[in-house]
Amino acid sequence: MIGKWKRAICLLIISMIWLNIPQKIEASVSVSASSAILIEQNSGRILYEKDAFTKRRIASITKIMTAILAIESGKLNETVKVSERASRAEGSSVFLKPGEKIKLEDLVYGLMLRSGNDAAVAIAEHVGGSIEGFVYLMNKKAEEIGMSNTHFANPHGLDDHEDHYSTAYDMALLTRYAMMNKKYREISGTKVYRAPNPDESWDRIWRNKNRLLTEMYEYCTGGKTGYTKRAKRTLVSTAEKDGMNLIAVTLNGPDDWNDHIHMYEMAFNNYKMAEILPKGMVKAVKNSFYKNHLYLNHPFLFPLTDQEKDKLRVEYKLIKPKKKWEKECGVSNIVGKAIVYLDEKMLASQPIYYRNSETNDESFFDFFRNIFTLVIGVKSNG
């Protein structure tokens, strides 16, 4: 139960904090896409954006949501019986046959690597009970993540509904969420997958359509392609270099492969991940009561340019020690916060903990106070 609460709170602050982070827009990048965005995955910082909040058709990058819901269902090892409706899905296909039985995990690989619309329908019917039931789950998850300008009407992205749309920003939010899942990262980054085919003498072999991953960009770690006549080319990709993890999204991008490469190269050439607050003991505090007792339970990393490093400032705010603490040995677990500023705009607020012989691992309620402090700090100072 506690794990579910932690996850829900994390999702809440993803959307609450992200828009309060000072943004560095790099104007030197030129992209062909109508909408584009580049973010650093861990911090959520937007490194580039072009019309990223406009609602547009998204085509098969819809399947990122379909994949993560299938993975989170806990049913990957279950066997799916393919329906007539699934086998008749239009567009790209993994050529499923009505009545055949296939593992849900294999369907997710076919969905992500080959963009199978038949796989999308089969997944939706198995996980959601019906396409309509699955679409309900898609929109509930979108709301949970904070995708406020998104509405899903199908599990594949075909142009069969007028109310199926998202934004580059929202799709970056979704991808950031999905990339927190180890299984999703594994599937998204797979170049070739062999799916058993018990009804035939040969296995299905699926090669990923994402050319950034398979041939064009050595730092690419995954993603999803998309195309329909009305949406045109859409693309989500991820990349990693020197500890920096990036997410790029383009909508209606005729030269999307190069769009993504250009955005990545701009970021990798201009930004570096800086450990602004290291995990462990806080040494900057000289107060005799607190000295050698204060610590941070996780580091704070943020992408910065060389010029921005000189504009950083860290402020430590501590509760004034109380005499009764010494008498009763009742020092509060959280005794203050470390606030990080960039050019006098707040980036983050992190709780400072007091360590003594009775200090245990962070409890759920301490975790909640941690998040509450962070949200309040951003709202009041951001």
Digit-coded pLDDT (tens) for 24-34:
444 578 999 99
Give the pLDDT band (50/70/90) at residue 202.
Answer: confident
Distance CA 192, CA 327 (A): 65
320 is in an annotated binding site: no
Set 35, 43, 83, 115: catalytic member: 115
Instruction: Reply yes or no on whether 60 is catalytic.
Output: yes
Q: Does residue 163 register a pLDDT over 80?
A: yes
Mention every residue, 6+ apart, whose C-beta is less than 8 A from residue 241.
219, 268
* Residue 330: predicted pLDDT: 56
User: What residue spans of 90-130 are helical by DSSP H?
Assistant: 104-114, 117-128
CATH class entry, domain 273-381: mainly beta
Q: Are 33 and 250 in contact (CB under 8 A)?
A: yes
Residue 360 burial class via C-beta count within 10 angstroms: exposed 0-12, middle 13-18, buried 19 and up: exposed
CATH of span 31-267: 3.40.710.10
Q: Does residue 19 register a pLDDT over 70?
A: no
Give the pLDDT band (50/70/90) at residue 332.
Answer: low
User: What residue spans of the chain are helical by DSSP H?
Assistant: 2-18, 63-72, 84-87, 104-114, 117-128, 131-145, 168-178, 182-188, 211, 256-270, 306-309, 323-328, 364-381
**What tokens does 86 get?**
């699934």
The domain limits of the chain are: 31-267, 273-381
Q: Are 214 and 225 in contact (CB under 8 A)?
A: no
Instruction: Reply yes or no on whether 30 is catalytic.
Output: no
Give the pLDDT band (50/70/90) at residue 4.
Answer: low
Instruction: Reply yes or no on whether 115 is catalytic.
Output: yes
Entry pTM: 0.83
Residue 142 burial class via C-beta count within 10 angstroms: exposed 0-12, middle 13-18, buried 19 and up: buried
Mention every residue, 6+ apart, whose C-beta is less than 8 A from residue 7.
none
**pLDDT tens figures, 116-160:** 999 999 999 999 999 999 999 999 999 999 999 999 999 999 999
Counting residues of the chain whose pLDDT is more than 70, the rounded percentage is 83
Distance CA 158, CA 283 (A): 56
Set 24, 50, 63, 337: catalytic member: 63
* Residue 380: predicted pLDDT: 33
Set 35, 60, 237, 349: catalytic member: 60
Distances in whole angstroms, Cα of residue 227 to Cα of each of 40, 144, 171, 209, 239: 25, 26, 15, 12, 21
**What tokens does 89 get?**
């899905």
